[in-house]
């Protein structure tokens, strides 16, 4: 954990995202899906939604898909103000949640390895309906504290996908050629790295949980296409940590490969500018 990390910040590399899917009765349509923190560990004063982890100076929080810390303690709590999501009109639900560690004090425990006590968030439909047998998110284990740092270059870049005639896009799913770019990471220890992609334009789901970045809106913008992306050879899942397979070698450059292409998302494509913006968050652990 970087010594310069400010109190209240997420510890780099600690975020773990999960997707919870299933189906309820149609009568539950529109009801909020909530989470309640159970087990040991009280909420840390002044840090809503951050719970004591059992390690001095480190807490844990659960974020909903909007990035909000989920608040609520004990069984059948009312956490509707920070729901994980809602049951859709057909009774199905598909929500994303993220657990991460938070630095809660300027100093942390001095032990080389410490234990995160076992905890649980119970999931349900408010006020008292559980989401089947696998109705909880559990955590626990050992945490090794190391002063590891990584640098990533370049810090920003522009990638040209090229100019293409509308006639090249003949059906939903047709694409342009892949364009490749790379980032380079250098770390002081052997770590596993992941990339999380977000965009102010959001994304559109296409198939098998994969997503396409939406292009910038505007009167001179194209329509019917998005930007498909590969992260380390894996198709993009929006706002989800995608791992690069190998570990870094201490103090040696590590290649982070990416590919992008245009992807037809609608039956009709119109001509215009087809630009997008993306933020690549590199996490390590």
Give the pLDDT confidence score for residue 215 in this predicted structure.
94
> Could you give the domains of the chain?
16-144 (2.60.40), 150-284 (2.60.40.1090)
Give the tens place of pLDDT for each residue, 50-98.
998 888 888 899 998 888 898 888 777 888 898 888 888 888 888 888 8
Nearest by Cα to 130 from 31, 30, 17, 16:
31
Give the tens place of pLDDT for each residue, 154-171.
999 999 999 999 999 999
> How many percent of the chain have pLDDT more than 90?
38
Give the pLDDT confidence score for residue 133 in this predicted structure.
46
Most confident segment among 45-49, 111-115, 226-230, 241-245: 226-230
Bridge partners (DSSP) of residue 63 are: 69, 98
**pLDDT > 90? residue 213:** yes
Give the pLDDT confidence score for residue 112 in this predicted structure.
46
**pLDDT > 50? residue 196:** yes
> How many percent of the chain have pLDDT more than 70?
91
H-helix or E-strand spanning residue 146: none
Cα 9 → chain centroid: 16
Bridge partners (DSSP) of residue 165 are: none
**pLDDT > 60? residue 2:** no
Cis peptide before 192 (omega within 30 of 0): no
pTM here? 0.59
Q: What is the mean pLDDT of residues 135-145?
A: 77
Contacts of 134 by beta carbon, 8 Å cutoff, 6+ apart: none
Contacts of 206 by beta carbon, 8 Å cutoff, 6+ apart: 173, 212, 228, 263, 265
Nearest by Cα to 68 from 87, 55, 52, 49:
49
């Amino acid at each position: 954990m970087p010594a310069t990390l400010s109190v209240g910040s997420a510890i780099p590399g600690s975020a773990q995202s999960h997707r919870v899917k299933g189906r309820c009765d149609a009568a539950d349509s529109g009801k909020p899906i909530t989470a309640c923190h159970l087990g040991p560990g009280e909420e840390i004063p002044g840090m809503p939604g951050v719970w004591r982890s059992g390690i001095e100076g480190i807490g844990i929080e659960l974020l909903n898909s909007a990035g909000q810390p989920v608040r609520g303690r004990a069984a059948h709590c009312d956490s509707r103000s920070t729901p994980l999501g809602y049951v859709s009109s057909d009774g199905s639900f598909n929500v994303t949640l993220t657990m991460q560690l938070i630095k809660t004090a300027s100093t942390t425990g001095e032990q080389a390895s410490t234990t995160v006590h076992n905890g649980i968030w119970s999931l349900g439909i408010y006020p008292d309906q559980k989401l089947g047998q696998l109705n909880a998110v559990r955590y626990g284990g050992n945490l090794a504290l190391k002063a590891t740092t990584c640098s990533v270059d370049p810090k920003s870049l522009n990638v040209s996908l090229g100019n293409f005639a509308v006639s090249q896009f003949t059906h939903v799913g047709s694409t342009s050629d892949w364009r490749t770019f790379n980032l380079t990471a250098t770390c002081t220890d052997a770590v596993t790295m992941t990339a999380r992609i977000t965009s102010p334009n959001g994304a559109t789901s296409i198939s098998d949980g994969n997503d396409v970045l939406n292009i910038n809106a505007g009167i001179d913008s194209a329509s019917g296409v998005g930007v498909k992306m590969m992260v380390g050879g894996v198709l993009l899942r929006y706002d989800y940590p995608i791992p690069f397979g190998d570990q870094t070698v201490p103090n040696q450059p590590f290649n982070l490969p990416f590919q992008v292409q245009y992807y037809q998302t609608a039956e009709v494509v119109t001509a215009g500018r087809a630009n997008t913006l993306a933020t690549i968050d590199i996490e390590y652990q």
